[in-house]
C-alpha cells in the first residue's frame, strides 16, 4: 500500500510543480514581476508543494 501512496504523491507533486511553473510563467505574472518584482504566492506554493510531495513520494516508494 505504501508504494501506491508513493506513486500517487509523485504524480501529484509533478502536477503541482507544473501548475506552479505555469503560473510563474504566465503573462500576467511576468507583467507583475516587471512592475513590482513580486512573484505570485500561488506559483511558489505550487512549486514548493510539488517538490515536497515528490520527495515524500520517493521516500514512500523506497
Instruction: Return the pLDDT at 10.
Output: 97
Task: Please answer whether residues 24 and 38 qualify as being in contact, where contact means their C-beta atoms are separated by less than 8 angstroms.
Answer: no
Q: What is the dihedral of CA 54, 55, 59, 62, to 10 degrees?
A: 60
- From first to last of its 62 residues, what are the pLDDT tens digits of the chain? 989 999 999 999 999 999 999 999 999 889 888 999 888 899 999 999 999 999 999 999 98
Q: pTM (2 decimals)?
A: 0.85
Amino acid at each position: 500500500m505504501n508504494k501506491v501512496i508513493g506513486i500517487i504523491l509523485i504524480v501529484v507533486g509533478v502536477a503541482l510543480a507544473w501548475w506552479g511553473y505555469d503560473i510563474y510563467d504566465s503573462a500576467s505574472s511576468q507583467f507583475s514581476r516587471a512592475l513590482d518584482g513580486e512573484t505570485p504566492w500561488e506559483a511558489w506554493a505550487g512549486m514548493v508543494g510539488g517538490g515536497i510531495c515528490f520527495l515524500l513520494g520517493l521516500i514512500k516508494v523506497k
